[in-house]
Structure 1
């Protein structure tokens, strides 16, 4: 398999985590978002949306990270990233969606570039924008994590799930945007635990071949 992504892309990061947790081998092809390579015709022939990640298998081209993660779960079920019960799967998907639908999309690069280039928003205001929406989302997530007395070291239960694949890249982004993370002790404990696991370490942005060194 070949994963088209970018070292600092949160959606690429979450996909790398999931593939690593499942022990899958894949090649990385960098699509440099900083140079708008995703908008060039060569990549749009792969994904007409011009977004990463895209995952090439022997006979499929997959895109949209939520769909990719679901495909991975169905195709490689040996290391499950969803609970066995319907209620548990619902909860993990809901926690994932809090990041994937309500935090990440309004802080990704194309939104921030629109703020900068089309609306002439200065960098201080862009930073405040990111901090506001990440903090709001993390506040709600922290409340739910605190209420889950059955949870251990991760977002759900005692093993990584989709929710951790989503959360860890968002924490990386929160640090980039100088979000105060001290109000979120449960989120921080999950981050600390995941950062001891090879699958997460290997997926970190600065450990990618296209990261600046």
Structure 2
């Protein structure tokens, strides 16, 4: 299974998807069938942007857990969203928590900060940061959001409105294009966090 590193914010794994499937083909495909109503507009195909958003929602938690798309645990958010004045474009929103000492070495007042999640489920190099208990003192919780425009030319134009092998293949193309775009910007996220959590 692919692992996370400083150049990987998300990944997919087709071998795992097939291995975990009930039909021997694709677990993600089964989730697409369950959520088939999300992949058409009253019987008509969605736009490439709408299709990519629906494919991503289905490929990630909470719809699919573990997801076909695995997101690095230290990110608070990674997903496409409608953008533009008429919401006819697409952007990839990547949100990462920042330890406040990275913003200013001494804010003058002692604040609590993001705390490492010690559940043991995450890759220790990319610990999930969670809110501290609210019973001690005020917490300064900073985060940064990188909003990346998605060129629609990267996305497949859906040809299917009904679940099946072609819809699954098109959905996988869409989410993999978004994963590749996110990973292309991983160094920017790495520079925000200083490479250390």
Q: TM-score range by the shorter chain?
A: under 0.3
**Structure that is richer in strand per residue:** 2
TM-score scaled to structure 1, two decimals? 0.22
**Structure that is richer in helix per residue:** 1
TM-score scaled to structure 2, two decimals? 0.24
